Protein backbone atom coordinates (compact mmCIF):
# COMPACT_ATOMS: atom_id res chain seq x y z
CA UNK A 1 0.00 0.00 0.00
CA UNK A 2 1.37 3.37 -1.06
CA UNK A 3 0.68 6.25 1.37
CA UNK A 4 -2.00 8.60 0.04
CA UNK A 5 0.18 11.60 0.80
CA UNK A 6 2.86 10.35 -1.62
CA UNK A 7 0.33 9.82 -4.39
CA UNK A 8 -1.23 13.23 -3.73
CA UNK A 9 2.14 15.01 -3.84
CA UNK A 10 3.04 13.28 -7.11
CA UNK A 11 -0.33 14.18 -8.67
CA UNK A 12 0.07 17.78 -7.50
CA UNK A 13 3.55 17.98 -8.96
CA UNK A 14 2.47 16.59 -12.33
CA UNK A 15 -1.00 18.14 -12.71
CA UNK A 16 -0.19 21.59 -11.30
CA UNK A 17 3.46 22.32 -11.89
CA UNK A 18 5.60 20.04 -14.04
CA UNK A 19 3.48 18.27 -16.65
CA UNK A 20 6.44 17.77 -19.00
CA UNK A 21 8.48 15.84 -16.41
CA UNK A 22 6.05 12.96 -16.85
CA UNK A 23 5.03 13.06 -20.49
CA UNK A 24 1.24 13.33 -20.47
CA UNK A 25 -1.18 14.69 -23.06
CA UNK A 26 -3.07 17.59 -21.48
CA UNK A 27 -5.99 19.33 -23.11
CA UNK A 28 -6.46 23.12 -22.89
CA UNK A 29 -8.50 22.72 -19.69
CA UNK A 30 -5.72 20.83 -17.90
CA UNK A 31 -7.33 17.39 -18.20
CA UNK A 32 -5.35 14.24 -18.95
CA UNK A 33 -6.80 10.81 -19.77
CA UNK A 34 -7.38 8.82 -16.59
CA UNK A 35 -5.67 5.69 -17.98
CA UNK A 36 -2.60 7.74 -18.91
CA UNK A 37 -2.43 9.40 -15.49
CA UNK A 38 -2.99 6.12 -13.66
CA UNK A 39 -0.15 4.53 -15.65
CA UNK A 40 2.16 7.45 -14.78
CA UNK A 41 1.40 7.06 -11.07
CA UNK A 42 1.97 3.32 -11.27
CA UNK A 43 5.31 3.84 -13.03
CA UNK A 44 6.34 6.05 -10.09
CA UNK A 45 4.74 3.78 -7.44
CA UNK A 46 4.52 0.24 -8.85
CA UNK A 47 2.54 -0.99 -5.83
CA UNK A 48 -0.18 1.67 -6.17
CA UNK A 49 -3.56 0.23 -7.10
CA UNK A 50 -6.12 2.02 -9.22
CA UNK A 51 -8.41 2.13 -6.17
CA UNK A 52 -5.74 3.93 -4.11
CA UNK A 53 -5.16 6.49 -6.85
CA UNK A 54 -8.92 7.00 -7.31
CA UNK A 55 -9.34 7.51 -3.58
CA UNK A 56 -6.76 10.32 -3.59
CA UNK A 57 -8.37 12.00 -6.61
CA UNK A 58 -11.97 11.69 -5.43
CA UNK A 59 -11.63 12.08 -1.67
CA UNK A 60 -9.04 14.84 -1.25
CA UNK A 61 -10.20 16.97 1.67
CA UNK A 62 -9.11 20.10 -0.21
CA UNK A 63 -10.70 18.98 -3.49
CA UNK A 64 -7.36 19.34 -5.29
CA UNK A 65 -8.36 17.09 -8.19
CA UNK A 66 -11.37 16.18 -10.24
CA UNK A 67 -12.27 13.21 -12.41
CA UNK A 68 -14.71 13.85 -15.24
CA UNK A 69 -15.57 11.91 -18.40
CA UNK A 70 -12.58 9.58 -18.09
CA UNK A 71 -10.13 12.44 -17.52
CA UNK A 72 -8.49 13.96 -14.43
CA UNK A 73 -7.01 17.37 -13.58
CA UNK A 74 -5.97 19.62 -10.73
CA UNK A 75 -8.76 22.02 -9.79
CA UNK A 76 -6.44 24.92 -8.85
CA UNK A 77 -2.84 25.87 -8.22
CA UNK A 78 -1.48 25.65 -11.75
CA UNK A 79 1.84 27.28 -12.47
CA UNK A 80 1.36 26.76 -16.21
CA UNK A 81 -1.47 28.15 -18.35
CA UNK A 82 -4.74 26.25 -18.06
CA UNK A 83 -8.22 27.36 -19.05
CA UNK A 84 -10.28 26.17 -16.09
CA UNK A 85 -13.46 27.20 -17.96
CA UNK A 86 -14.76 28.62 -14.74
CA UNK A 87 -17.65 31.03 -14.77
CA UNK A 88 -17.23 34.18 -12.68
CA UNK A 89 -19.01 33.91 -9.35
CA UNK A 90 -20.07 36.44 -6.75
CA UNK A 91 -17.69 36.01 -3.79
CA UNK A 92 -18.57 36.43 -0.13
CA UNK A 93 -18.02 39.87 1.40
CA UNK A 94 -14.54 38.90 2.60
CA UNK A 95 -11.95 36.37 1.53
CA UNK A 96 -8.58 35.64 3.11
CA UNK A 97 -4.99 35.03 2.02
CA UNK A 98 -2.57 33.35 4.43
CA UNK A 99 1.07 34.34 4.03
CA UNK A 100 4.38 34.69 5.83
CA UNK A 101 4.62 37.64 8.20
CA UNK A 102 7.55 39.17 6.30
CA UNK A 103 5.47 39.41 3.10
CA UNK A 104 2.20 40.73 4.52
CA UNK A 105 2.95 44.48 4.70
CA UNK A 106 4.28 44.51 1.13
CA UNK A 107 1.19 42.68 -0.13
CA UNK A 108 -1.15 45.14 1.60
CA UNK A 109 0.85 48.08 0.19
CA UNK A 110 1.34 46.85 -3.40
CA UNK A 111 -1.54 44.44 -3.99
CA UNK A 112 -1.92 40.70 -4.18
CA UNK A 113 -0.43 39.12 -7.31
CA UNK A 114 -0.30 35.49 -8.47
CA UNK A 115 3.55 35.35 -8.48
CA UNK A 116 4.42 31.91 -9.89
CA UNK A 117 0.80 30.76 -10.19
CA UNK A 118 -1.86 31.45 -12.75
CA UNK A 119 -4.25 33.01 -10.19
CA UNK A 120 -4.25 34.45 -6.69
CA UNK A 121 -5.68 31.86 -4.28
CA UNK A 122 -8.09 33.05 -1.62
CA UNK A 123 -9.65 31.11 1.23
CA UNK A 124 -13.28 31.45 2.27
CA UNK A 125 -12.42 31.24 5.98
CA UNK A 126 -9.85 32.72 8.30
CA UNK A 127 -9.04 29.24 9.60
CA UNK A 128 -8.23 27.94 6.10
CA UNK A 129 -6.04 30.98 5.39
CA UNK A 130 -4.13 30.42 8.63
CA UNK A 131 -3.55 26.78 7.67
CA UNK A 132 -2.22 27.85 4.26
CA UNK A 133 0.04 30.47 5.82
CA UNK A 134 1.48 27.95 8.29
CA UNK A 135 3.15 26.14 5.40
CA UNK A 136 5.65 29.01 5.28
CA UNK A 137 5.46 30.59 8.72
CA UNK A 138 4.46 29.05 12.09
CA UNK A 139 2.66 32.30 13.01
CA UNK A 140 1.37 33.49 9.64
CA UNK A 141 -0.21 36.77 8.73
CA UNK A 142 -3.59 36.90 7.02
CA UNK A 143 -4.50 39.45 4.39
CA UNK A 144 -8.21 40.28 4.39
CA UNK A 145 -9.70 40.89 0.95
CA UNK A 146 -12.84 43.00 0.58
CA UNK A 147 -13.95 40.66 -2.18
CA UNK A 148 -17.52 41.81 -2.68
CA UNK A 149 -16.42 45.44 -3.03
CA UNK A 150 -13.76 44.36 -5.54
CA UNK A 151 -16.33 42.32 -7.48
CA UNK A 152 -18.74 45.24 -7.48
CA UNK A 153 -16.01 47.28 -9.17
CA UNK A 154 -15.38 44.65 -11.86
CA UNK A 155 -12.81 42.23 -10.44
CA UNK A 156 -13.74 38.67 -11.46
CA UNK A 157 -13.66 35.81 -8.96
CA UNK A 158 -13.91 32.09 -9.72
CA UNK A 159 -14.78 29.23 -7.38
CA UNK A 160 -12.43 26.26 -7.76
CA UNK A 161 -12.34 23.45 -5.25
CA UNK A 162 -12.43 25.05 -1.80
CA UNK A 163 -10.84 28.27 -3.04
CA UNK A 164 -11.70 31.44 -4.85
CA UNK A 165 -9.36 32.51 -7.64
CA UNK A 166 -8.76 35.91 -9.20
CA UNK A 167 -6.14 37.49 -11.44
CA UNK A 168 -4.88 39.93 -8.78
CA UNK A 169 -6.25 42.15 -6.02
CA UNK A 170 -5.39 45.87 -5.91
CA UNK A 171 -4.10 47.21 -2.59
CA UNK A 172 -7.23 49.31 -1.95
CA UNK A 173 -9.19 46.10 -1.16
CA UNK A 174 -6.63 44.70 1.29
CA UNK A 175 -6.00 44.96 5.02
CA UNK A 176 -4.21 42.88 7.64
CA UNK A 177 -6.09 40.68 10.08
CA UNK A 178 -5.02 41.43 13.63
CA UNK A 179 -4.81 38.68 16.23
**pLDDT given for residue 29 in this prediction:** 79
Cα angle, residue 136 at apex, residues 21 and 100 outer, rounded to 5°: 125
**pLDDT given for residue 85 in this prediction:** 62
DSSP H stretches of helix in 60-136? 101-110, 126-133
* pLDDT of residue 171 exceeding 90: yes
CA-based nearest residue to 51, from 70, 69, 36, 38: 38
Q: How confident is the model at residue 37 (pLDDT cuts 50, 70, 90)?
A: very high
Amino acid sequence: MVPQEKISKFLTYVLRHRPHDVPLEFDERGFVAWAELRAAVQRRFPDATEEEILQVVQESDKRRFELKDGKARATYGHSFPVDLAAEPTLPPARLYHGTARDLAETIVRTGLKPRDRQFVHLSASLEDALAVGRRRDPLPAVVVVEARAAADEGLKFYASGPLFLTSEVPAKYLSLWRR
